[in-house]
Amino acid sequence: MSFIRKVKTASGATAVQVVTKHHGKITNIEHIGSAHNGKELKLLIALAEKRKLSGQQLLFKEEDKTSSYGSRRQYLCNL
């Protein structure tokens, strides 16, 4: 299981990391970057999301992304 974590550094920046756990123990920490403001933090979190999901296959075909709800996110929110 992988997740994204944000850690404050000694310089006051926020480090963004993708952490992988296996059987409850951290097996890998990948440093994505350090942000010094909110805009940089949003960008790094988006990059971390891409990195976290890079090895996974899509659950739905590309043409199935939209439905009468407009998107999978809206569909899931309406369940």
Contacts of 32 (CB under 8 A, 6+ apart): 16, 17, 18, 44, 47, 48, 51
**Residue reference for tokens 């569909």:** 75
- For residue 65, pLDDT beyond 50: no
- For residue 68, pLDDT beyond 70: no
Q: Is 41 exposed, middle or buried (0-12, 13-18, 19+ CB in 10 A)?
A: middle
Instruction: Return the pLDDT at 53.
Output: 82
**pLDDT over 90 percentage in the chain:** 58
**Residue scoring higher pLDDT (15 or 77):** 15
Alpha helices in the chain (DSSP H): 38-53, 72-77
